[in-house]
Amino acid sequence: MKGFKVLFIFLPSLFACDGNYREVVISGQVKDSITGKFISGSEINVTCWVYDTKIWESRKVIKDTLSDANGNFSIPFEKGEAIDVEVRHDNYQPFKYSNTLDRSINELEFKLKKIE
Domains of the chain, each with CATH number or no CATH: 20-112 (2.60.40.1120)
- Those residues whose C-beta lies under 8 Å from the C-beta of residue 101, and which sit 6 or more positions away, are 21, 24, 80, 81, 82, 83
pLDDT given at position 86: 98
pLDDT given at position 73: 98
Mean pLDDT of the chain: 89
